[in-house]
Amino acid sequence: MVDLKGQYEKIKEEVDRGIHQVIDSTQFVNGQAVKDFQTDLEKYLGVKHVIPCGNGTDALQVAMMSLGLRPGDEVITSDFTFVATVEVIALLGLTPVLVDVDPLTFNIDPEAIERAITPKTKAIVPVHLFGQSADMDAVMDIAHRHNLFVIEDNCQAIGADFISKEGWTKKTGTIGHIGCTSFFPSKNLGCYGDGGAIFTNDDEIAHQLRGIVNHGMFVRYYHDYVGVNSRLDSIQAAVLKAKLPHLDEYCNARRIAAEYYDKAFENHPNLIIPTRFAKSTHVFHQYTLISKGVDRAALIDFLGKSDIPAMIYYPVPLHMQKAYIDPRYKEGDFPVTESLSLTVFSLPMHTELDEEQLHLITSKVLEFLS
């Protein structure tokens, strides 16, 4: 699904130099590389504070911890997402409230958010799924009217722009109170291990976040909060510092591959190509098609025989996952998510796809469907 080796070959010198500098400095934790990357990312995103941390799941957890949410508080998020989003809500003893998504953009449905609000609701976690922004105009409007926090799960959309109806454009992850991202190797900005970051424009929240990722400690060995230990290590920061200047180019390469797929599949009676949300650029973390009347398992099997990986993100809606079975929800409650989980599939998407590979992938898909 990704080609990290090919991407590395092109930036080998910068990456290797950065890693060797860290080794020479022996500042493996909280070294200069982490500070430099943090500053670079703040500039790139146009956000006041970036707080690096251990991974995207920690980013979400620490974000929720920093807002003073208490057990029983309700947090609204999408039923159609990677499990981490709801996992941290549950771990903190908060109550996840799931809502359905838009059938074409796969992102959280603002009307469904509105219907799910109760006096206990404290926060909304929109997920910018597969590389494009949720409708942040609508989400922020709901949040303002109901006095709710917004934590953006930007793990799949770093680099995407949201274009507001009010005329401004901002990077996804910098619009709500807090944004979270992951630098897992296969993400659009990936390191060579685990990594994550939290963004905010709010000085007070930034202060809390910095303390919580560091054992709830603001002054050495004085612990004001129950915190966690969540750090981005310096070697990963060096890799990310080398890769960040290429992020826009990487997003572009993904877009070009997506356009190739689009041309091959548009108007096909059995396929719906990814819908572009008018208020967002798309950075194509995934290229996800909706199949109609297709034996999806057989298609994936057929592609596998030609060494073409295809994946299903996500095969089971969160409300039907064993760990999250809840008497509040039953099969049929989230018809869009349930239908998507049965029909979507994702094709290889990365920065190194060439025409030959794209030609093979598209012709094999079309061959199966013919």
Nearer to ligand PLP by Cβ, of 55 and 132: the residue is: 55
H or E element: which one contains 99?
strand 95-99
Given the complex with ligand PLP, which of 196 and 211 has the nearer CB atom?
A: 196
- What is the spatial distance between Cα 49 and Cα 88, in angstroms, rounded to a whole number? 22
Work out how close the CB of 83 gets to ligand PLP at its nearest, in angstroms, rounded to a whole number. 8
- Asked if 72 and 97 touch (Cβ cutoff 8 Å), the reply is no
Tally of CB atoms within 10 A around 314: 18
**Cβ partners under 8 Å of residue 241, min gap 6:** 18, 33, 36, 37, 40
Nearest Cα residue to 41 out of 194, 256, 243:
243
Look at residue 103 and give its three-state secondary structure: coil
Sole residue written with tokens 């298609």: 299
Q: Nearest approach, Cβ of 98 to ligand PLP (angstroms)?
A: 14
How far, in Å, CA of 316 to CA of 327, rounded?
17
Residue pair 242/14 in contact (Cβ under 8 Å)? The answer is yes
Task: Compare residues 265 and 334 and give the one whose CB is closer to ligand PLP.
Answer: 334
- In sequence order, what are the beta bridge partners of 127? 153
Footprint of ligand PLP (CB under 6 A):
55-57, 81-82, 84-85, 127, 153, 155-156, 182, 184, 194, 196
User: Residue with the closest Cβ to ligand PLP?
Assistant: 56
Q: How far is the CB of 145 from ligand PLP (least distance, A)?
A: 26
Q: Find the helix packing angle between 355-369 and 296-305, rounded to 10°.
A: 140
Nearest-approach distance from CB 82 to ligand PLP, in angstroms: 4
Query: Is-contact 65 224, C-beta < 8 A?
Result: no
**Distance of alpha carbon 151 from alpha carbon 200, whole angstroms:** 10
Instruction: CB nearer to ligand PLP: give 73 or 194.
Output: 194
State the amino acid at position 62 in one-letter form.
Answer: V
Residue 70's Cβ-count burial label (10 Å; 0-12, 13-18, 19+) is exposed
| 171 within 8 A of 159, measured Cβ to Cβ | yes
Tell me the C-alpha distance between 126 and 343, whole Å. 22
Instruction: Considering the complex, state which of residue 44 and residue 184 has its C-beta at the smaller distance from ligand PLP.
Output: 184
In the bound state with ligand PLP, the residue whose beta carbon lies nearer, of 153 and 338, is: 153
> Least distance in Å: CB of 215 to ligand PLP?
20
We find the least distance from the C-beta atom of residue 58 to ligand PLP, in angstroms, to be 7
Nearest distance, CB of residue 39 and ligand PLP, angstroms: 22
Query: Residue 128 Cβ, how far from ligand PLP at the closest point, in Å?
Result: 8
CB of 220 to ligand PLP, least distance (A): 28
Query: Which residue, 126 or 227, is less far from ligand PLP as judged by CB?
Result: 126
**Cβ contact 199:49 at 8 Å:** yes
Closer to ligand PLP by CB, 181 or 214: give it. Answer: 181
By beta-carbon proximity to ligand PLP, the closer residue of 196 and 274 is 196
